[in-house]
Amino acid sequence: AIEKILEECSTTSGNSALLRFLDNTTILRIELSVAAVQAVDPLCWLHAQQLSISKIRRKLSSAPKSEDTSLPVIYLNDAEGRVEAAVIGKSPSFSDSWDPFIGKRIWDIVDKEQISDDIGEVNGVNGVKGANGINGEKDENIKPPMLKEGDLPPGARVYGASRFDSKFYEEKMRNEREYKSRSKRYDSKGTNIEDDWDGFGGDRGGYWILPVVELRRELLDSSSNRHTNEASCEYGSKGTRKVTLAVNIQNSTPSSLSVLGNQHRYGWRDAALRTLTILQELTDELSPAAPTTTLPPVLTRSESTGKEGENEDYGYAFECSVTEALKRIHHYESVTSGNTSNPPAQSANKEESHNGLHIAGNENKCESLRKVVLARKVDLKLGASLNGLDALMRMKFGGHVGHLFYLATGEDNNELQFNREFIGCTPERLFQVKDRGDERIVTSEALAGTRIRGLTPNADAELLQELLSSKKDMLENEITGNFIMDALKELEANGWLDKRSPEFFVESSDDENKSHTGRFFVRRLRHLQHICQTFEGRLSKNANIIDVSRSLLQNLHPTPAVCGDSPIDALDFIRQFETKASFDRGYYTGPIGYIGTDSADIFVAIRSALITNYNNDFVDEKNVVVKRPQSKVSIFAGAGIVKGSTVQGEWTETSHKLGVMSSIFPPSPVTLQIASIPNVAWSTAFIEELVRCGVTQFYICPGSRNTPLTAAIYKSTRSNTGVVRAISVHDERGAGFRALGYSRQNGRPAAIVTSSGTAVANLYPSVVESSSDGVPLLVITADRPYENRDNGSNQSVDQVKIFSSTYVRWFRDIPPPSDDVPVSLALSDANHAVTLANQLAGPVHLNVQFRENLAPDQGPIRNDNRIGSVTKFHTLRFTDVPGFARWSQSGSRWQRAFYPDKNVNHSIIEVAELILQSRRGIIVAGNLRLSNNDANEADSLTSIISHFATVAGMPILAGVQSGALRRERPVIPFAEHLLKHPSISKGLRPDFILQLGSPLISTEISKMITNAVMHNVQTSHVLVQRLYPYERADPEFTVTHRVSSDIGDFLKSLTSYIESLGQQATMKCSELTPLLHLGRELQKEMPSIIEETSRAVNSQTVEKTPNDSILTEPEIMSAISDVLSELSSEKLRGSSLFLSNSMPVRDGEFFLYPRQVTENDQTAHMQTSLSGFPLSVNVNRGASGIDGIISTAIGCGDTFTPTTLVCGDVSALHDLNGLYGLTSDLPSLSNAQSKPHSRVPLTTIIVNNGGGAIFSFLPIAKHGQDVGFEEFWGTPTKSISFRKWADAFGLPYRYANSFESFREAYRSSLLSGRPE
């Protein structure tokens, strides 16, 4: 349908029915009913679209700056489950057109002639260009065109929120034109000291939009929900639901300007194009309906305002404001002589308070207050970015009760480099308008008065009765209730409510929670309980929901529950003692929700938080780089100050409320560094990683040996309330099947935890079933340590691979925890186990050995009376590994794994985001694992990698196994030598490492990766490789993202994705690209360096005759490189090089690079001279042995491609009989074959350095003959004659001891095409 609009509106003429319809409307709504009602959860859908939303924002950011390129995202879900909506994008119109606080109605009817006079000229999709006056100054008298009420299609709704004190904010923005310069003022910690809310949603006091895409799930017939009484203490709803996917296309070009040509139709074209841009990137994917388990932990908690002076602390400012409020409340009591039914007159009436705002300051003359609500703010600093939708998933599926909301305007602040999200789970509704059968009902509620929940049922009941008996809390609620009834009476006076009894309150249906009047009930949440009253009225037939909603917004907000009894006086007090002295509430306590022609629902944004994610550190005015946290969560909480309040009491109440939002964040695993014994530290880390990987259901069978695991799981349930569950099951056999049932139902593994002995054997039936039916399952068995095995120790059986490998996907026997085994192994084992259980769909068995003390007791080791038997554990040594800082601060998994049949597409988007965010990215190439290893595939992959490096702007560290990749321009020549330089190795500090293939041979590159991950928590190490099922390929435990995919296919998709983002997302060169220049300069000098060094070695060698010279290993590799670079591609097409382990492969890593290409003939040499460089370099690096080297090299040449083998003398001795494969008398050669031309063209280069030279680099070498080094390590080979061995097999033999003689001999051998 959208494409049809594009087609029809792109022409200058036409009179179709569609065009005639579009000519007379401004908004088009297209709806689609979704059949899978139960399966489609709007939050799960929105959560799964995060990477798509990021891509859309990048695409929109390439639009001209004059256009509004923001992409807002809003989510709402009422507590009763009646309406849940996820919306993306906004119509390209003035947001004020939808703001309920603008004008007398949401949609004012504007005179068409005035529109034409004011607008003047139309500019594409944005519509209005004439709203600016002379010299670009905005003309305040020109208002954006408001939409008529009838323009909103049936079913369409506007979504948004308004600030708590919107008028004050708008007035402040008008009076403070230096807004942009103020935004750059920070404290020493990088916090904006002016206003955390500045710029959030623009400079307006509210943010209301007509969304572009809307996914809505709602009750089909609310009359079926009559059993759900809003006056009950529990939320809940039943009934038939429907799911609707809709798009709203708004043409912001007024149809009245059709006289200018086809501008209105072009407006439809542009609006449809923008809608398609958004819609085409979205998918039907859904995230699992489970709480997020990877939220970052809180690093620090602060109430500092960043301001100097007495109000530098939010807490102190709160205490001062409460003290002042109590003075004024006391004054009120003295003035009224205890008569609370008739408060003193307000300083202005309600209409004046909203339309003619008086901004109060020191001139505040109100000396009396009956009630005022004051708030506190606490900043939580996190070590990693926090996604607000992750937090919302945690709240929704983790058991939090209330109305959920999420607002992200999508307006990244480029100057400050941050983005913000506003989230919450509020128990308070401002008002709701809905159908109930044939009636339209408006409801509101007074929620005030608070107590915490009790730890036991009896304590909970006592706190409830204490709350209902509290005069202070009842007074708070009554004040709010009276205020709401006044607002409803005004609706009645306007004729919008049917006449009824004077009372609007609803009797509570919950006998247990009623007060003596029957009006009040207690709303019981997870952490808190509140007194509540519900009020309702029935709309008259002539009432318009838009008018009703606007009236209620203006008359109910702010209610005494969030402001005070006399709104004007309370607002003035809040502005003076809170906003100016401490912080601006922003959208906290403001209205948030939706308004439509058929219904409306507005919540009060309490129990909320503002999330600020910082993209970079910033440079202050003194040019100093200031570090700041990755993200900050500002949490707000307020308390009503009335007669009977105390500073301590209100501080306690706000602390409890602050704890609601902060409770969703897990504790920091940094506490592992103060763990008392190794069992505690290991088990805590192990269980934490399982939880982060999505294992949240544990079935624990009681026992002694599994005590450390059980204690760690219990602690996890306490710190992850509502997320992690642990169930005690006495029977292991039943526990196994119970875990199987959970895993089968939820599609993710549950964990069974048992003690040692026969308890393990009872799991066999469930393991067999899990394997046979492909159900993921995690079997964790505790075991006795090695010293208790096979010696008759009690309750000790052989648990190693106790379940047949036929049924278990992976088994791991884990050694007893100690600081000798780093925490990275525990985290990697847990991560790999869950990954394999999911990927291979079956059971994984982890057998964990535990020594005493099993209980978390320090001191003497239980049942061990030997001298010195006390617990010893060095926690800092246990955690001093690469990646621990990142893991402990980020809240993310130890490693992200992507597999071809599951989520490689996700990996492309995720890796692209990492690249776009990086500044110091680098590519590392190891063994690329070519599937065919032929010339065409190798050449193609080399080109793909080189092109990707060019697009990404990153240099390449190419290991010798990457072969022909070393001839490409993005490769840093002789990088290993550069990395040995202290200045370079210390200053490298990459923040993104893309590793293509493994393993890596270079120890310098491995050190670089380890140091980067160790010292920068933001460094990402991505490994891309075709992995076999159980492979980890992470020996140093530094990989953060593991992608199992063909390297070429992955890079082509990744390149296409990055290029599809548009010019705005074009990659900037990595800050590490200067290494290319250094490498090329070194490449120019390397021949002379090798020559001079070899000459020096020769001069220092004493064991030689005067006519002898020694050929050094660097000279050998340099000569090979020269010859391969010189020979034409026709003679060496598909050539390969095989390097033996030990010294040859290391020599190749350091010295085997193409010869230098001059600047004048770069292109020619790239296409010709270097094409002879080997397309493939092979090494037996799986187990890195030196046996079978010659035979393996012959096998590489069995395809009759020119092959060169470089091996040491000891390696050659291990496989001399393999040379027989090169002889001419092989029986496999038939008479039809010409023997001389059918022999393998292998040139074997034996580097005879007199024995095992590599062992001279070991620490044992310095002990010399004290340990018999020469005999047992050096393995001398001086008595061996390789010439005689060659003669024995009838093979040509040449001896070379100089650079020139070797180069000529090697060149001649390659051109001969014969084995030599």
Query: Between 185 and 3, where is the model more confident?
Result: 3
Residue 345 has pLDDT above 60, yes or no: no
Burial of 31 (0-12, 13-18, 19+ CB in 10 A): middle
Residue 918 has pLDDT above 70, yes or no: yes
Burial of 1057 (0-12, 13-18, 19+ CB in 10 A): middle
Per-residue model confidence as pLDDT tens digits over 1272-1287: 877 777 778 889 888 9
Residue 127, pLDDT score: 31
Q: What is the mean pLDDT of residues 1130-1155?
A: 85
Residue 1224, pLDDT score: 66
Residue 179, pLDDT score: 43
Task: Decide the pairing of beta strands 618-619 and 591-596.
Answer: unpaired
Q: What is the mean pLDDT of residues 748-770?
A: 95
Q: Would you place residue 11 in the very low, low, confident or very high pLDDT band (cuts 50, 70, 90)?
A: confident
Q: Would you place residue 679 in the very low, low, confident or very high pLDDT band (cuts 50, 70, 90)?
A: very high
Note if the bond before 1297 is cis, omega within 30 degrees: no
Residue 693 has pLDDT above 70, yes or no: yes
State residue 393 phi and psi, 5-degree precision: -60, -40
Distance CA 760, CA 987 (A): 52
Q: Would you place residue 429 in the very low, low, confident or very high pLDDT band (cuts 50, 70, 90)?
A: very high
Q: Would you place residue 952 in the very low, low, confident or very high pLDDT band (cuts 50, 70, 90)?
A: very high
Residue 1226 has pLDDT above 80, yes or no: no
Q: Report the amino acid identity of residue 359.
A: I
214: β partners: 87, 246
Query: Between 101 and 340, where is the model more confident?
Result: 101
Per cent of the chain over pLDDT 90 is 45
Residue 121, pLDDT score: 34
DSSP per-residue string spanning 103-168: SSSSS----HHHHHHHH--EEGGGEE-TTB-GGG-B-TTPPPPPPPGGGSPTT-EEEEEE-TTHHH
Q: Would you place residue 1102 in the very low, low, confident or very high pLDDT band (cuts 50, 70, 90)?
A: low
Of the candidates 879, 876, 897, 875, the residue with the CA atom closest to the CA atom of residue 888? 879
Query: Between 179 and 42, where is the model more confident?
Result: 42
**Distances from the Cα of 1017 to the Cαs of 135, 467, 982, 1207, in angstroms?**
49, 47, 22, 41
Q: Count the Cβ atoms, other than its own, within 10 Å of residue 223.
A: 13
Residue 195, pLDDT score: 64
Query: Between 117 and 1202, where is the model more confident?
Result: 1202
8 Å CB contact between 693 and 722: no
Residue 149, pLDDT score: 53
- 3-state SS of 824-885? HHHHHHHHHHHHHHHHCCCEEEEEEECCCCCCCCCCECCCCCCCCCECCCCHHHHHCCCCHH
Residue 1163 has pLDDT above 60, yes or no: no
Per-residue model confidence as pLDDT tens digits over 119-148: 333 332 223 333 333 233 333 433 444 444
- Return the DSSP state at 966: G
Residue 1011 has pLDDT above 90, yes or no: yes
Residue 1136 has pLDDT above 50, yes or no: yes
Pick from 77-91, 608-622, 1119-1133 the range whose average pLDDT is largest.
77-91
Residue 132, pLDDT score: 33
| Among 26-40, 511-525, 579-593, 1213-1227, the least confident range | 511-525
Residue 500 has pLDDT above 70, yes or no: no
| Among 369-373, 951-955, 1199-1203, the least confident range | 1199-1203
Query: Between 975 and 116, where is the model more confident?
Result: 975
Distance CA 1052, CA 18 (A): 41
Residue 350, pLDDT score: 41
Token readout for 774 is: 């492909």
Per-residue model confidence as pLDDT tens digits over 805-826: 999 999 999 999 999 999 999 9
8 Å CB contact between 1009 and 1039: no
Q: What is the mean pLDDT of residues 894-920?
A: 84
Residue 135, pLDDT score: 33
Residue 438 has pLDDT above 60, yes or no: yes
Residue 626 has pLDDT above 80, yes or no: no
Mean pLDDT of the chain: 82
Per-residue model confidence as pLDDT tens digits over 958-990: 999 998 899 899 999 999 999 999 999 989 999
Q: What is the mean pLDDT of residues 1070-1082?
A: 94
Q: What is the mean pLDDT of residues 381-391?
A: 92
Residue 435 has pLDDT above 70, yes or no: yes
Per-residue model confidence as pLDDT tens digits over 841-875: 999 999 999 999 999 888 888 888 888 888 888 98
State residue 825 phi and psi, 5-degree precision: -70, -40
